[in-house]
């Protein structure tokens, strides 16, 4: 798939000539209901948070990617925990966290290494810590992304060693500065994509994570790269795309979100005034692909999956207070909400 940069300010006046299916209505209902569940939890209300039996029974990501637990941890504990981090530190910490994408792995590294800085990096020490954890039978990787092992490029049988070598290579080749100097999200995406084991979808996820920091300041409405789940969801939502690419379909729904919610009389509560961004709409197509397996089993996407694997079980986990990249300008609204709740 050849990625394209989207036209800033481009506006779609209608869906035509793209034609939708009845799953498209579920896309907007799902987005609003999942966001409603999010705010029920923010308010501290006990479950159940929804009457939708599928959403109540199965695990789905938030309507906004940055609200998910791992993204919140990345933003608060990896990126903004220390305001004195150098440009190299920020890049190093983000990519190190994301190649494992597992909170427990990061915390194990911190337990043994202390505050993580690039200047203190030792391949042998990081390898020793990760290897020891694996020898205990503990998983060090999240199952969220499938990343090629990198053995062809770096020659190690253990993929974590190849990923550490990949990160070394990026740091040695001054990628933090190259990404920071990039004028467009697409340019930063291309830089990441040029490295072994990083495909198009992963490069898009990584550049989005980097963009949570002050290393870059791209608009999340500038560029999108659909993953396999989103492409399947788009197939279920559209009979025909009317000549539009999957990236343009995602831009179309992002640009039209207010009209689409209003058309269906759906009261969507945005993220404290922040509309759904391209990354969020992309994720929602992936989630509605899963949702439709149960609600619309008659509609075929890409592949033959017919059930949702992950079940939701409520656990009273400690949850970080929600906090987002300061450049978004919404943390003040969250603080005001929390103060009002405390006042009541």
Structural domain containing residue 236: 19-66+223-328
Residue 334 included in any domain: no
Query: DSSP 3-state assignment of 184?
Result: coil
Model pLDDT for residues 129-142, shown as the tens digit of each residue: 999 999 999 999 99
Residue 5 included in any domain: no
Residue 333 included in any domain: no
Residue 271 included in any domain: yes
CB under 8 Å to 170, separation ≥6 — which residues? 91, 95, 176, 195
pLDDT the model gives residue 9? 45
Residue 237 included in any domain: yes
- Cβ neighbours, 10 Å, residue 103: 17
Counts of helices then strands in the chain (DSSP H, E):
16, 2
Tokens of 44: 């501290």
Q: How far apart are the C-alpha atoms of 85 and 82, rounded to whole Å? A: 6
Phi, psi torsion values for 274, nearest 5 degrees:
-90, 115
Residue 89 included in any domain: yes
- Cβ neighbours, 10 Å, residue 137: 6
Model pLDDT for residues 38-94, shown as the tens digit of each residue: 999 999 899 899 999 999 999 999 999 999 999 999 999 999 998 889 999 999 999
Mean pLDDT of 161-177: 98
Q: How far apart are the C-alpha atoms of 201 and 189, rounded to whole Å? A: 10
Mean pLDDT of 201-215: 97
pLDDT the model gives residue 261? 98
Residue with more model confidence, 145 or 150:
150
pTM: 0.92
Q: How far apart are the C-alpha atoms of 276 and 288, rounded to whole Å? A: 15
Q: In terms of domains, do 97 and 136 share one?
A: yes
Q: Is 60 exceeded by the pLDDT of residue 202?
A: yes
Residue 340 included in any domain: no
Q: Is 50 exceeded by the pLDDT of residue 106?
A: yes
Per-residue confidence band for 309, with pLDDT thresholds at 50, 70 and 90: confident
Of 160, 183, 211, at which residue does a domain stop?
211
Number of domains forming the structure of the chain: 2
pLDDT the model gives residue 5? 43
Q: In terms of domains, do 206 and 101 share one?
A: yes
Q: In terms of domains, do 23 and 107 share one?
A: no
Q: In terms of domains, do 41 and 97 share one?
A: no
Q: In terms of domains, do 203 and 315 share one?
A: no
Q: Is 80 exceeded by the pLDDT of residue 313?
A: no
Q: In terms of domains, do 88 and 205 share one?
A: yes
Q: In terms of domains, do 129 and 158 share one?
A: yes
Q: In terms of domains, do 58 and 148 share one?
A: no
Give the Å distances, CA to CA, from 199 to 169, 194, 282, 314, 318.
Answer: 17, 9, 17, 34, 34
Q: In terms of domains, do 189 and 299 share one?
A: no
Q: How far apart are the C-alpha atoms of 312 and 269, rounded to whole Å? A: 23
Q: In terms of domains, do 206 and 236 share one?
A: no
Beta bridge partners of 58: 311
Q: Is 80 exceeded by the pLDDT of residue 179?
A: yes
pLDDT the model gives residue 338? 66
Model pLDDT for residues 233-264, shown as the tens digit of each residue: 999 999 999 999 999 999 999 999 999 999 99
Q: In terms of domains, do 197 and 292 share one?
A: no
Q: In terms of domains, do 87 and 177 share one?
A: yes
């Amino acid at each position: 798939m050849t990625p394209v940069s989207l036209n800033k300010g481009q506006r779609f006046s209608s869906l035509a000539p793209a034609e939708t299916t009845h799953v498209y209505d579920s896309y907007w209902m799902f987005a609003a209901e999942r966001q409603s569940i999010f705010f029920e939890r923010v308010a501290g209300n006990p479950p159940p948070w929804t009457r939708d039996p599928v959403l109540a029974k199965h695990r789905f990501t938030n309507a906004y990617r940055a609200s998910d637990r791992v993204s919140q941890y990345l933003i608060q504990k990896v990126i903004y925990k220390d305001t004195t981090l150098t440009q190299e530190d920020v890049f190093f910490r983000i990519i190190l966290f994301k190649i494992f994408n597992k909170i427990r792995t990061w915390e194990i590294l911190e337990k043994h290494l202390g505050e993580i800085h690039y200047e203190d990096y030792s391949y042998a020490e990081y390898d020793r810590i990760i290897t020891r954890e694996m020898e205990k039978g503990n998983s060090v990787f999240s199952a969220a992304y499938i990343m090629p092992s990198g053995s062809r490029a770096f020659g190690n049988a253990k993929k974590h060693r190849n990923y550490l070598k990949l990160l070394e290579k990026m740091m040695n080749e001054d990628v933090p500065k190259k990404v920071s100097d990039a004028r467009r999200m697409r340019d930063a995406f291309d830089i990441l994509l040029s490295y072994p084991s990083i495909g198009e979808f992963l490069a898009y996820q990584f550049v989005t994570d980097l963009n949570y920091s002050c290393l870059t300041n791209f608009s999340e409405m500038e560029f999108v790269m659909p993953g396999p789940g989103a492409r399947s969801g788009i197939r279920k939502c559209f009979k025909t795309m009317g000549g539009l690419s999957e990236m343009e379909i995602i831009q179309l729904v992002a640009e039209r979100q207010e009209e689409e919610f209003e058309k269906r009389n759906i009261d969507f509560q945005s993220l404290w005034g922040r509309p759904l961004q391209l990354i969020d709409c992309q994720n929602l197509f992936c989630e509605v692909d899963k949702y439709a397996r149960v609600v619309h089993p008659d509609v075929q996407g890409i592949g033959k999956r017919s059930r949702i694997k992950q079940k939701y079980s409520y656990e009273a986990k400690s949850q970080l207070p929600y906090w987002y990249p300061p450049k978004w300008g919404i943390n003040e609204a969250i603080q005001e909400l929390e103060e009002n709740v405390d006042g009541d």
